[in-house]
Chains A and B, each alone.
Chain A
Amino acid sequence: MENSAAALIGMGLAALGFAGSGVGLGTLFGKAIEAIARQPGAEAQVSKYIWIGMAFVEAIALYGLVVVFIIMSKG
């Protein structure tokens, strides 16, 4: 296989990291909504932590993007 073709396949595979981040976001928001439904008074507190957590979870998917860039520079 040519190098560039292998690089393209690798870049596509590295993009699969989004799946894990999707699961993480689903769990995060699902649990947060559950928490707010049980204890509506804590909404301000919980939503502050949702946004912090969301930024962390999203960043995990973007590490995949960094791998794509590394492969792109080699391919």
Chain B
Amino acid sequence: MTLISSAIASEAAQASAEPKMDPLHHFEVHKFVDLSLFGFDISISNSVLWMWIACGFAFLFFTQGIKGGKQVPGRLQSLVELGYLFVLEMAEDIIGKKDGRKFFPYIFTLFYFVLFCNLSGLLPGSFTPTSQIIITGTFASIIVGFALIFGFYNHGLHYLKFFVPSGIPVLLMPLMIPIEIISFLARPVSLSVRLFANMTAGHTMLAVMFFYVLTLPIFASWLPFGFTVVFTGVEIFIGFIQAYIFTILTCVYINDAIHMH
């Protein structure tokens, strides 16, 4: 708690100064506790702190929602059940009934981690962990690397046929195979950059608008203020849809590794 209060105090000290245009301020990583393990930097920064908070929110949401487990669900329990079935249906639709169940725990965790990280960034004075490319990049490379290894584990060397498009004349193969390989290698990049750029762009836009709310005279400042109100709603929607896209693509990649196209 002292970490949070000190972070808020430092925010307040900066806010009292003259407002200046600094829309990327939200994305600066500060270290609260310096730690290192075998030469690796494992310091507790605001990114780590807000990841914990997002995990805590997700944990509380599900444990509180499912507590009691009534036959006729209340409002919160309905929401939890809806959220559970939403991810379960997504996994079963794309990966298949049996294999989808097998990967469901990971996909469920991934979806709610990304979702709560996206949404926690909208709280005042907070930090968006998913707006750091190192975090989304780690997730994406683990997912794609796992899909590649799992594909070779399932199919052996037959998995190399994945890179050979079917129904193409043999003459075009020297052209098509490199394209397929490059498009496979672009998967982790596009997966991570999509989430990172969406989160960064939205919050930067909000920060620019807040700057105009503070600096414009009162007769004009209601305009950017109204825009921030609307755009916060859009950000909640984008946070949800990006978490959805991230998990749906994870499902697609795992499906490619199980059932070759």
Contacts and interface: CB of A to CB of B under 8 A. Distances in A.
A52 B241 CA distance: 8
B221 interface: no
A66 B245 contact: no
B248 A62 contact: no
Interface stretch (A5-13, A29-37, A39-47, A53-61): A53-61
Contacts, number: 37
Interface residues of A, number: 12
Contacts of A55: 194, 198, 238, 241-242, 244-245
A55 B193 CA distance: 13
Contacts of A59: 190, 193-194, 197-198
Contacts of A56: 194, 245
B241 A62 contact: no
Contact of A63 (B197, B238, B244, B248): B197
A62 B198 contact: yes
Given A51-B241, A55-B242, A56-B245, A63 B193 contact: yes
Given A52-B248, A58-B198, 14 more contacts: A51-B244, A52-B245, A54-B241, A55-B198, A55-B241, A55-B242, A56-B194, A56-B245, A59-B190, A59-B193, A59-B197, A62-B197, A66-B193, A66-B197
Interface of A: 51-52, 54-56, 58-59, 62-63, 65-66, 69
